[in-house]
Amino acid sequence: MKTISYSTLVVTLLTLLGCGSLVQEVDPGNLPTATPKMVVHCFISPQDTLLAVYVQAPRAVLGTKFTDNGGFYLTYSLQGSVVTLSDGTRTVQLPGVGGTIPLYYGIDTRQFPIVAGRTYTLTVSNAYFPTVTAQCTVPKAVKPTEIRADSLSGRANGLPGTTYYGRLVWQDAAGEANYYQVSGNLIKTVTRPIYTTPNVPTRDTTLTNMYPLSFNGVNLITDQNVDGQRLISARGEAREFNYNSLERTIGLVFTMTLSNIDENYYRYRETVDRQGDADENPFAEPVLVPSNIQGGYGCFGAYNQSTLTVKVK
């Protein structure tokens, strides 16, 4: 038995030594070099009240981080940038908002309205990085036609509650590539008794709560192979726990929004979602996030929203 134990120990040690030989130090000088580029994100819509452009310095994976002359790490927001937006006829410069190191560059859309069908050009320049440009065309609005609502009562974690479900229905525009994103909320109004102080009668109060619908990451849709057909979204759901048995529902409203998004936004959002799903999974295939920022990284996209509200109760 001892001979077998000693043999097992020797084999184990040899195996570990063999694994150690697989580790090889890499000379940083042999790694490829690349010119640092700005990271820019901007999404525009006719429904927005604010135009916001986020300009960031890249985060270094190897080597030292980029710093300005003041020694601040410009990891999140890049100061000193000149940001302009043009619709081909008019050009506007977006000032920095939020202090010396701006949170973003932006203006009120009343100064520069976003119009469906127009192509916009974004330009960002900075003394430390090459100038970047990007273009996108604002898609037209597509109106949803129906909300299919349902609910299921039960218990979860020992508490009674109700799960509400909603699907959005719309007619796809034929003869063109379309990309969609669906979101929504459940708005519930209830009355609930409020106990105040002794010798004071109990009174009812009205409360309104909003529950966002969760689509489990399946809220992006394309009309590929279903062009011109009637489309139905994935099921969005909201879970609501009933902590008070005396609570009474007096109003229930589904509000769902259909965003007709451009291809830039769709490709970027879809790959970011897949990258998030693969995070920290050593067996997942790497996901390369696309960029339509010429000379930099990020996304300049557009969308157009239409909202449908249905009163269930």
Taking alpha carbons only, the member of 205, 310, 190 closest to residue 240 is: 190
Please report the pLDDT score of residue 149 as a whole number. Answer: 92
Residue 64 lies in a domain: yes
Residue 170 lies in a domain: no
Out of 60-69, 254-263, 304-313, least confident range? 60-69
Please report the pLDDT score of residue 99 as a whole number. Answer: 81
What length does the chain have? 313
The Cα 29–Cα 32 span in angstroms is 8
Contacts of 190 (CB under 8 A, 6+ apart): 206, 207, 208, 209, 247, 248, 249, 250, 251
Please report the pLDDT score of residue 90 as a whole number. Answer: 96
Strand residue runs (E) in the chain: 39-44, 50-56, 82-86, 91-94, 96-97, 104-108, 119-126, 129-137, 144-156, 159-171, 179-194, 203-212, 220-222, 230-232, 236-241, 248-261, 297-311
74 CB burial (10 A radius; 0-12, 13-18, 19+): buried
- The predicted model gives 78-95 an average pLDDT of 95
Residue 290 lies in a domain: yes
pLDDT at 44 over 60: yes
Over pLDDT 70: what percentage of the chain? 80
Please report the pLDDT score of residue 73 as a whole number. Answer: 41
Residue 197 lies in a domain: no
- String of DSSP letters for 73-99: B-SS---S-EEEEE-SS-EEEEPEESS
pLDDT at 311 over 50: yes
Please report the pLDDT score of residue 64 as a whole number. Answer: 45
Out of 54-68, 88-102, 252-266, 282-296, least confident range? 54-68
DSSP label at 103?
S
The Cα 189–Cα 249 span in angstroms is 6
What is the per-residue pLDDT across 182-234, written as a single tens digit (0 to 9) for each?
A: 999 999 998 888 776 776 667 788 889 899 999 987 789 999 999 999 999 99
Residue 19 lies in a domain: no
Annotate 29-67 with b (16+ C-beta within 10 A) or e (fewer).
eeeeeeeebbbbbbbbbbeeeebbbbbbbbeeeeeeebe
Judge whether 226 and 233 are in contact, CB under 8 Å: no
Please report the pLDDT score of residue 50 as a whole number. Answer: 95
Residue 279 lies in a domain: yes
Q: Which residue has the higher pLDDT, 6 or 146?
A: 146
Residue 304 banded pLDDT, cuts 50, 70, 90: very high
pLDDT at 240 over 70: yes
pLDDT at 1 over 70: no
Strand partners, 302: 44
Residue 176 banded pLDDT, cuts 50, 70, 90: very high
* Residue corresponding to tokens 């006719």: 46
3-state class (DSSP) for residue 124: strand
Residue 156 banded pLDDT, cuts 50, 70, 90: low
Question: Rounded to 5 degrees, what angle do the CA atoms 297, 275, 298 make?
Answer: 15
Look at the chain and report how many structural domains it folds into. 1
3-state class (DSSP) for residue 268: helix
Contacts of 282 (CB under 8 A, 6+ apart): none
Q: Which residue has the higher pLDDT, 61 or 257?
A: 257
pTM of the shown model: 0.79
Residue 285 lies in a domain: yes
Out of 64-78, 126-140, 162-176, 280-294, least confident range? 64-78
Residue 63 banded pLDDT, cuts 50, 70, 90: very low
Q: Which residue has the higher pLDDT, 197 or 51?
A: 51
Please report the pLDDT score of residue 101 as a whole number. Answer: 84
Q: Which residue has the higher pLDDT, 206 or 144?
A: 144
Please report the pLDDT score of residue 161 as a whole number. Answer: 79
For residue 286, the enclosing domain spans: 34-139+262-303
pLDDT at 262 over 90: yes
Q: Which two tokens stand for residue 177?
A: 């590539």
The Cα 124–Cα 309 span in angstroms is 39
- The predicted model gives 25-50 an average pLDDT of 83
Task: Find the DSSP H helices in the chain.
Answer: 2-20, 263-277
Residue 285 banded pLDDT, cuts 50, 70, 90: confident
Residue 252 lies in a domain: no
